[in-house]
Amino acid sequence: MKTGHFGEYAEKGDYHIDLDPNWPYLPVYLAKMDLVRQFLDRCDPAISIIDLGCGEGALVNEYRQRGLDITGLDMNYESEWVRRGSLPATGLPDAAYDTVLCLDVLEHLDFSGQKEAVSEIARIIRPGGIFLLTVPNLAHFASRLSFLVRGKLIRTSSIERHPGDRPVREYLELLKPWFHIRSRRGIFPTFPLLALLTLWKPSKSIWLHRLANRWLAYPDLCFLNAIFCERVG
């Protein structure tokens, strides 16, 4: 299949692959990808995996080459192993996958769309299957400080880009009808000095992020949460 770029990828190119050292999200993105790779490295090649909202399919391409049965779905990209489609209407069969990834996707949907998307993910994953979700947390540390001082939260992006921005505890409640939360990891505790350095020199702050993520990343105070779930029922 010929590779196709649509929407933001037609405009920005493969920006999740050709990383910009000045991208403010760079340290968080790298930490997230490290965590997801640790998970995928332990996956059995016999299981079926889909990456929903996979962008340019960086993980799909990497792990297909390493022998995993992984495919992707994205509304703005298609290739041999990435199908063009979107949440919450994937068009995929019931109970078709052992493992589902959905990395930094739900926040791009409004609240009603998020509920529909989680229901759709529950439909396509087998009972007992694993769902790995990453979402930004509106109630991160710097946001809480801002609310105390200014009465205003710090959004994780613009309202146009993240219409479904919400505290991570609300995402946990959203998952409960279909999933058991097995574990949760925090990425990037937004302490003011670290947050300012990240905005100023993203590539220079990566080593500080590694230290903070190892020792100080209480999930409720972090910018990003990785949530490991099991399909129940």
Tens of pLDDT along 35-89? Answer: 999 999 999 999 999 999 999 999 999 999 999 999 999 999 999 999 999 999 9
231, 127 in Cβ contact below 8 A? yes
Residues 98, 73: Cα–Cα separation, whole Å: 16
Over residues 130-137, mean pLDDT: 98
DSSP, res 72: E
* % of the chain at pLDDT higher than 90: 94
The secondary element (H helix, E strand) that includes residue 231 is: strand 222-231
Give the tens place of pLDDT for each residue, 14-35: 999 999 999 999 999 999 999 9
> Is 90 exceeded by the pLDDT of residue 9?
no
**Average pLDDT of the chain to the nearest whole number:** 96
For residues 180-185, give the mean pLDDT.
98
pLDDT at 229 over 80: yes
Question: ω before 88 within 30° of 0 (cis)?
Answer: yes
| CB burial string 125-149: b at 16+ within 10 A, e below | bbeebbbbbbbbbbbbbbbbebeee
| Strand partners of residue 82 | 72
Do residues 180 and 230 lie in contact, with contact meaning Cβ atoms separated by under 8 Å? yes
Kindly report the CATH number assigned to the domain that includes residue 76: 3.40.50.150
Percent of the chain at pLDDT exceeding 70: 99
Into how many domains does the chain fold?
1
Record the pTM.
Answer: 0.96
Containing structural domain, residue 225: 4-231
- Mutual angle of helices 26-41 and 206-215, in 10-degree steps: 60
Tens digit of each residue's pLDDT (9 = 90 or more) over 151-174 = 999 999 999 999 999 999 999 999
| CA 138 – CA 135 distance, rounded (Å) | 10
Q: What is the mean pLDDT of residues 133-154?
A: 98
For the ranges 1-5, 57-61, 184-188, which has the lowest average pLDDT?
1-5
